[in-house]
Structure 1
Amino acid sequence: MTASSTPGRRILLQSALAGAAGLFLTAAAPGSASAAGPSGPFLLRLPAPTGPYPVGARTLHLVDGSRNDPWEPRIGVRELMVTALRPTVFGRGFPRAPQLAPGAAAEFAFLAPLIHPHLPAAGVDWAATLTHARAGAPPMSGRSPVLLYSPGGGDARTMGSSLAIDLASYGWTVITVDHPGDASEVEFPDERPGRARVRTTALRPDIDAATFRTMIDTRVADLRFVLDALGLDRVGVYGHSAGGTAAAQALHEDRRIAAAVNLEGYLDRMDGELFPVARDGTDRPLLLAGSDGFRDARLDRSWATLLGHGGPVTRRQLDDAAHWVFTDYAALVPQLHKAGLMTGGGRAAMVGRADPCVTVPAVRDLVRSFFARHLPA
């Protein structure tokens, strides 16, 4: 697998294979995954973090009373669910946090093949996947730099768990943010008027420019509200797809954001109008990272406009990869393919054909090295 900053110039990611065998030791261990059959549905494994610190997880329910929900006005406020991942002194004695809470897993099992048609409609126990963060483990003393994560359109924050936990294992506090009504499913602590305890997506496949505008504007407002609610300043933001768009635009709008990573998010509004960050440029570090399997004229045009302003903006490309290689699907989809629950074409369409022992470290190294330069832990 290679990374290239310009067409025709390819640079081997020298660190992509560093620690790859250990990274996937848990996922590949005998008995760690079993195909659906007499023993039950298929069990998926996420790769372990590679940093020196164990990671603790805490889930927070944040309510913004100054805004109504754009997708369901009956709610009357804007609610967010976030997970705070922090380096901890020890993790033993605290349970590993599940990737999906039980209610969310039940909804996702139904929604997964609708949102991502290549995923299997049955045969997977989505509730059984554990992260490598320990629920309730106390954080280390002192403060650490904070990173916010915004997932792709139609995806929940949970599908960015692996990268977020790896970053936290190196000393950052990582806040993964759900955008309810947009995310596939979000599980809240309880019900309230206007929504069930598990809220599912309002997005449809035929998304138009107006809906996309609402989605990005709402996400930017969500990220800024998290900064307000948690009293944060001088943070980094990274996001995938629509989350990458929101991360770049939030960098433009909020000086509290010191650096941002856009993982394959467009910088226009579908109708050709550029977001202000692309139109005006930025004076703070911004990484544009994409894959060769998703690259198209629209992405090139909007990114090239931003790059044309100069400034601290860098573009990188992962080859032999596809759009969801920047998420947990980079590790999960090859397991589903190997178990016969996905086709080879489906795997290639979602994450590319490169081995996850290469792609997972490559994405982690790309994001971690960027923030190590501009917002060191």
Structure 2
Amino acid sequence: MNFFLEAAKSLPRLFPLLFLRNGLSFPAPTGPYNTSLVTVALTDTHRSDPFAPTQQSRVLMISVFTPVLPSACIPLLSSYMEPTTAAFEDARLEAYGLPSGVFESLNLQTCQQDPINHKQFPLLLFSPAAGTTRLFYSAIAQQIASTGYLVVTIDHPYDADIVVFPDNTTVFGLNFTDAQIPLVVDTRAKDISFVLDIFSKTTLHHSFHGRVKAGVFGHSLGGAASAQAMFTDPRFQGGLNLDGTFFGDVVEKGLDRPFLIFAHDGKNLTNDPSWDATWPKLTGWKREMMLADSAHYTFSDLPDVVDL
């Protein structure tokens, strides 16, 4: 998160708090669709949480961004973060110059749910960076959804810095050792496949029954998890690693479906050994790209938060 913290340090500490009291909204997405937003807790009753202090099923939080025709959009303002997460992130980042209460003040411009069948939209699942809430990627997810994709962002409990469930149960992140990272990536990959199971077999909040193909993408450790999910689950038709080091079977065995690796400025195959090892084993369509004048957390909403 160094990019964001350095940017936050440059903010004036006497930020006009009047704007915070009235609320700030991210710009509306620029695609041909508006979007709705739903947050849902999902319980995998067939899998125990490997990181929970007691024996319990793995439970996830997701955000679902669904395209809505402009003619069907009933405008809403949706909170960028739920209150407990917002207060947690405020306390953590206020020391770097962000005004008090900034995350409680932020909103997304959304629509009420459109009760039509959305099976025609391709499904994309997203996994965030280690120690980072999925909510720091909501503006990006909304923008992608506005171009005609159903986008689902996933929180991985005990890995994200904080996950708050609808009953206000709160799970804080653990400090994983390097030796635990392969288990973390494998757990994330299973989380991702489980979310695809849900969208393939149930209605959730729209009619998604029968959806069996999807794409997967992620940032940092989420990029590694996306590649591992593709390796273990053939339903994923393509993937994208945003600036993440690869871990898991995919490094040794590769993928035969389309995959893109997208780096911050200065990162490439020559200075990440996992990229160099994985690249020749990607036998489908593949591309390596680098975003000029960027840093690791450019691949999140955090630069836009600073702009706001």
Report if TM-score (shorter chain) is over 0.5: yes
Residues 58 and 52 (structure 1), Cα distance of their counterparts in 2 relative to 1, 3 Å cut: same
Q: Which residue of 2 aligns with 1:257?
A: 236
Q: Distance in 2 between matches of 1:48 and 1:75?
A: 43
Equivalent residue runs for 1:127-166 within 5 Å: 127-134=104-111, 136-143=112-119, 144-166=121-143
Instruction: Write the letter of the residue equivalent to 1:242.
Output: L
> Structure 1 CA distance, aligned partners of 2:17 and 2:126?
39
Partner of 1:77: 57
Contact 2:75 2:109 survives alignment (8 Å): no
Alignment counterpart, residue 266 of structure 1, candidates 235, 245, 248: 245
1:104 corresponds to 2:85: yes
> 1:93 Cα deviation (Å)?
3.6
**SS across alignment from 1:64:** strand
Secondary structure, aligned partner of 1:308? helix
Aligned match of 2:76 in 69, 73, 95? 95
The C-alpha deviation readout for 1:303-343, integer Å capped at 9, x for no partner, is 122222352221000111100111101312345xxxxxxxx
Paired position in structure 1 for 2:43:
63
User: 4+ residue stretches of structure 1 with deviation over 3 A?
Assistant: 40-45, 90-94, 118-122, 139-142, 293-298
- Cα distance in 1 for residues equivalent to 2:267 and 2:147: 29
* 1:27-42 alignment, distance < 5 Å: 36-37=15-16, 39=18, 41=20
Cα drift, residue 41 of structure 1: 4.9
Deviations 1:27-77 (A, max 9, x none): xxxxxxx96346375865434311111101111110011222222232611
* C-alpha spacing 1:289/1:152, structure 2 compared with 1 (3 Å): same
Change (3 A) 1:310 1:62: closer
The equivalent of 1:220 in structure 2 is 189
Q: 1:94 to 1:242 in 2, by over 3 A?
A: same
Paired residues of 1:87 and 1:140 also in contact (CA < 8 A): no
Maintained 8 Å contact 1:64/1:225: yes
- What SS does the corresponding residue of 1:307 show, helix, strand or coil? helix
From 274, 284, 290, give the equivalent of 1:302: 274
Residues 298, 208 of structure 1: CA spacing in aligned structure 2 closer, same or farther, 3 A cutoff? farther
The correspondence for 1:200, drawn from 172, 195, 199, is: 172
Alignment-mate amino acid for residue 50 of structure 2: P
8 Å contact kept, 2:267–2:290: no
* TM-score, scaled relative to structure 1: 0.69
Q: Hey, what does 2:223 align to over in structure 1?
A: 244
Question: What is the DSSP-based 3-state SS (H/G/I as helix, E as strand, rest coil) of the residue aligned with 1:95?
Answer: strand
Corresponding letter in the other structure for 1:287: L
Question: Measured at CA, do residues 293 and 97 of structure 1 come closer, stay the same or move farther in structure 2, by a change above 3 Å?
Answer: farther
Local SS of the residue matching 1:163: helix
The residue aligned with 1:332 is 305
2:290 alignment counterpart: 317
- Structure 2 unmatched ranges of 5 or more: 1-12, 201-210
**Cα RMSD (Å):** 2.5
Alignment-mate amino acid for residue 189 of structure 2: V
- Read off the aligned partner of 2:260 and give its amino acid letter: L
Q: Give 3-state SS (helix, strand or coil) of 1:66's partner.
A: strand
For residues 156 and 97 of structure 2, the distance between their equivalents in structure 1, rounded to whole angstroms, comes to: 25
Contact 1:184 1:201 in 2 (8 A): yes
Distance change >3 Å, CA 218–CA 310, structure 1 → 2: closer
Cα 1:294–1:110 change in 2 (3 A) is: farther
Aligned-partner SS, 2:54: helix
TM-score (ref. length: structure 2): 0.83
CA positional deviation for 1:133: 2.6
- What is the SS of the residue equivalent to 1:155? coil
Q: How far apart, in 2, do the equivalents of 1:65 and 1:142 lie?
A: 27
Distance in 2 separating the partners of 1:39 and 1:334: 17
Contact preservation (8 Å) 2:77, 2:109: yes
CA contact (8 A) 2:25 2:109 kept: no
